[in-house]
Structure 1
């Protein structure tokens, strides 16, 4: 799968289009979690989206449900 195919699936799923690389990265992550794409496809998509400026959001440790050791 490439970015064009990812955008097409995004449009089919969400009924709107986006060029927001962060939204596309979130969509790719969900597709991977739901076994709709392989780990190799996910890695390639993330690499390409990051090269276009996508970033993983910072974790808000104060409001996280995961315990963090200090």
Structure 2
């Protein structure tokens, strides 16, 4: 299990929990960029802090959203 913090790499989470990408978009449209080709390329090495900046969200809210989703699996 991958620990979820602001420094956690998005792709590490996605590799462990492939449903994250579509579930995030379903819960919050701000994450639509995650399913675009450019999003896949630009976020390959991104951590959750960078993902939250891209979504224009508070980093703690983003981390909590990821944690909540992962806990639901």
Give the TM-score normalised by the residue count of structure 1: 0.32
Structure with larger Rg: 1
* Structure with a larger share of its residues in helix: 2
